[in-house]
Amino acid sequence: MKVVRLAWVLTLALMIMPPTTVAQTLEQLWQQGKTAQAQKKYPEAERIWRQIIQLDPNSAVAFSNLCAALFRQNKLDEALIFCQKALALDPKLPETYKNIGNVLYDQKKLTEAEEMYRRALALDDKYVYAYNNLGMVLRDQKKLTEAEEMYRRALALDDKLVPAYNNLGNVLRDQKKLTEAEEMFRRALALDDKFVYAYYNLGLVLYDQKKLTEAEEMYRRALDLPDNTTGTPTTAHTLAHNGLGLLLQEQGKLEQAIAEFEKATKIDPKFEFARNNLQEARRLLSLQQQPEQIIALNNTEYLPQEDPLTRIKRSIVKISVVFTGNAKGTAYGTGYVVKRRGTTVWIITNRHVVVDRDTEQRGDNLEVEPYYGENLPNLPRDRVVAKIIYITQPQENLDLALLEVTGLPDDISPLTFHQGEIAPNTPISIIGHPESKDWSKYEAITIGIQSSSGNLLIDVSLAVGGSGSPVFDQEMRVIGLMFKTINESQIDSSGIGFAYPIDRVLQKLAQWQVVVP
């Protein structure tokens, strides 16, 4: 009712106001809209652009600006609608293509976003923001040389564009050009000494160069400024606390590191690396203070012997790995035993569990932990060092890695596999470690096999840590391996899980000349 009344009032205003008054009102509203947008008052800007559209429904620029204001409020679907309306009114407005590119980029539709930025540049080859944003897309696509070129083009047009210096620094750091990257971050800060992300990024590149004292100073400077919550994967302060924690941990200052990780998780409880790093730092401190207090590999006193799932859980491991790129830290994943010969055990998991998605570098300190049981005392649990013996390539349509370990207890054996057709609506279960809920079992049903890829679709959403989990039929035979969910933010939200049917996994193992029982 309110919307109808507003439209009626504005229409009545148009009817009774003389043309000169309407023009003055529009001009005033345009100025107010631009000011609100510039001051990042996006709800206010949205309200003003909607008023302008009521007064001038043929203004492509107003529709495009409304799209931008909605985008800034993370109203992505609605933003896209208004950008499309702007294009219908004027298909030659470069700002609209840039705004659509921004929406698509946030939706992780990188190919489509790239096309939109390139369309904007085809209409205006001096459009500095389109060059900068195209650089962001290309970097995410690992096209680092092209991304660098776009940032440099942006800076050639505007040598005061602070974000472009920061972004160029990031892509130079990706290419291991650390001195050049440091220079770009310092240039960004010379132009804007309140740019919190630039302090954090400068801290990263100094950390990479083992300039730990200087890196610590930059992290602390970032924390002295107001937080920036608009970036990804999390806020600037969360990243700075996490980076500072890793630095302090490297210096052996575990209690101080724990304090930083706690601050990071308090700001963003869903940032997996800070959460994992906190667990690892506490584990290291406990081992340092009481090295003899550890649950050893041969300890079976906490295993629920009457539980039929115990044997199965023993064959499912928790994988821990350290990613040093971008000061992330520890990541967790799941794997399960596919073969055993004597003391040697082979474990299948996902490639992305053991390889950093951003840098394509294999992680350090790769270890696996077996299932020790329930109601465990608050003590560190022993682990076994693992090594990668086979891994799929990034361009392959399978995301797999095979690990080899020695020394796991003798009762840990391969799981039972079942090949064959998987019908829709088949009840299944998954056991893994999403959100560090270790060895948790989740019930779900299959949706069917995706025709384009051959992947198994499952009506389930597992958070980070569930990758590599086995998918079981009702007889607890493995029929698949989880590799992705559409919604990884929390395990309780609805989503679609993707798994490789076990047939495809076994075929790959055969190609690697690994014969399973």
Q: What is the C-alpha to C-alpha distance for residues 79 and 271, in angstroms, rounded to an integer?
A: 27
Length of the chain: 517
| Shared domain check, 434 and 364 | no
Same structural domain for residues 72 and 114?
Answer: yes
Tens digit of pLDDT for each residue in 337-393?
Answer: 999 999 999 999 999 999 998 888 999 999 999 999 999 999 999 999 999 999 999
153 is a domain residue = yes
**Judgement on whether residues 498 and 377 belong to the same structural domain of the protein:** no
Averaged pLDDT for residues 153-176: 98
Q: Up-side HSE of residue 412: CA atoms within 13 Å toward CB? A: 29
Indicate the helix (H) or strand (E) that contains 78. Answer: helix 76-89
| Residue 375 structure tokens | 């109601």
How confident is the model over 296-338, as pLDDT tens digits?
999 999 999 999 999 999 999 999 999 987 779 999 999 999 9
Residues 316 and 443 in one domain: no
For residue 6, is pLDDT > 60?
no
Cα separation values, 175 from 10, 52, 147, 206, 341, Å: 55, 46, 11, 15, 42
Q: Which residues contact 379 (CB under 8 A, 6 or more apart)?
A: 286, 293, 294, 295
pLDDT(38) > 70:
yes
The mean pLDDT value of the chain amounts to: 91
Domain annotation covers residue 183:
yes
Domain boundary at 202, 231, 251, which? 251
Asked whether residue 455 falls in the same domain as residue 373, the answer is no
Asked if the structure places residue 391 within a domain, the reply is yes
Strand partners, 330: 322
Shared-domain flag, residues 73 and 208: yes
Q: What is the mean pLDDT of residues 474-495?
A: 72
- Most distant CA pair in the chain, distance: 92
pLDDT (tens digit, 9 = 90+) per residue, 402-425? 999 999 999 999 999 999 899 999
Tell me the whole-structure pTM to 2 decimals. 0.87
Check pLDDT > 70 for residue 488: no
Question: At which of 357, 373, 406 does a domain end?
Answer: 406
Domain count of the chain? 3
Residue 54 falls inside a structural domain: yes
- Is the same domain home to 375 and 454? no
Residue 464 confidence (pLDDT): 63
Same-domain status, 326 and 390: yes
Chain center to CA of 327: 14
Q: Residue 473: its pLDDT value, please?
A: 95
CA distance 473 to 208: 46
- Find the CATH number of the domain harbouring 328: 2.40.10.10
Q: Are residues 103 and 247 in the same domain?
A: yes
Share of the chain above pLDDT 90, in %: 84
- Cβ contact 186:202 at 8 Å: yes
CB 296 within 8 A of CB 209: no
Do 93 and 210 share a domain, yes or no? yes
Q: What is the pLDDT of residues 93-137, one digit of tens each?
A: 999 999 999 999 999 999 999 999 999 999 999 999 999 999 999
pLDDT at residue 10 is higher than 50:
no
| Count of CB atoms situated within 10 Å of the CB of 372 | 21
Is residue 314 located within the same domain as residue 210? no
* Residue 480 to residue 302: CA distance in whole angstroms: 29
Residue 1 maps to a domain: no
Within-domain flag for 292: no
- CA nearest to 347, candidates 288, 435, 269, 413: 413
Q: Hey, which residues does 482 pair with through a beta bridge? A: 499
pLDDT value, residue 230: 84
103 and 236 assigned to the same domain: yes
* HSE toward the beta carbon, residue 493, CA cutoff 13 A: 10
The values of phi and psi at residue 509, to 5°, are -60, -40
Nearest CA to 385 out of 362, 409, 367 is that of 367
**Quick check: 466 and 480 in contact, CB under 8 A?**
no
Answer yes or no: is 216 within a domain: yes
* Residue after which a domain boundary falls, among 231, 251, 271: 251
pLDDT tens by residue, 258-286: 999 999 999 999 999 999 999 999 999 99
Range of the domain at 360: 310-406
At position 83, the amino acid (one-letter code) is C
The upper half-sphere exposure of residue 78, i.e. CA atoms within 13 Å in the direction of its Cβ, equals 12
| Residue 116 in domain | yes
φ/ψ region of 142 (left if φ > 0, alpha if ψ in -120 to 50, else beta) reads left
| Mean pLDDT, residues 44-50 taken together | 95
- At a CB cut-off of 8 Å and minimum separation 6, what does 408 contact? 297, 343, 345, 368, 370, 384
Task: Please write the tens of the pLDDT for every residue from 457-484.
Answer: 998 766 566 899 999 999 999 999 999 8
